[in-house]
């Protein structure tokens, strides 16, 4: 999921929140949100991410945030949410983090 505009009140954030909710309702459990094209975020955008994060936890899923721009990261830090979300520099880094490394490591080690 990659929004292409500021996640602010008045439309974009609400549409984004609806889309995330629809993805979870459709059976997706693990989402990566690519914020690399999002120049700004306000409380409505933060609310959408927090609600998606809460939903993910409730269904034993994950919500990973990838590629957030410095202004968006700054808002996350000011709201003390940077430590709540799993944040990655890129979508690829978020995907790699999702791999079952423990299982792979055990299989490679022959244990």
- Indicate which CATH number applies to the domain containing 76: 3.30.750.24
The pLDDT value recorded for residue 105 is 46
Closest CA to 53 of 9, 84, 94: 84
The pLDDT value recorded for residue 4 is 55
Mean pLDDT of the chain: 84
In a domain, 4, yes or no: no
In a domain, 93, yes or no: yes
In a domain, 52, yes or no: yes
Q: Report the number of distinct structural domains present in the chain.
A: 1
| Distance of alpha carbon 49 from the chain centroid | 7
List the domain range (segments joined by +) for residue 101: 12-109
The pLDDT value recorded for residue 12 is 83
User: Measured between alpha carbons, how far is 68 from 74 in angstroms, rounded to an integer?
Assistant: 10
């Amino acid at each position: 999921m990659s929004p292409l505009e500021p996640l602010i009140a008045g439309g974009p954030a609400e549409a984004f929140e609806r889309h995330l909710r629809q993805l979870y309702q459709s059976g997706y459990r693990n989402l990566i949100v690519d914020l690399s094209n999002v120049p700004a975020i306000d409380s409505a955008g933060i609310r959408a991410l927090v609600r998606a994060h809460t939903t993910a936890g409730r269904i034993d899923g994950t919500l990973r945030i990838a590629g957030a721009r410095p202004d968006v990261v700054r808002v996350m830090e000011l709201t003390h949410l940077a430590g709540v979300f799993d944040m990655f520099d890129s979508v690829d880094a978020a995907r790699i983090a999702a791999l079952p490394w423990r299982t792979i490591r055990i299989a490679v080690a022959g244990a």
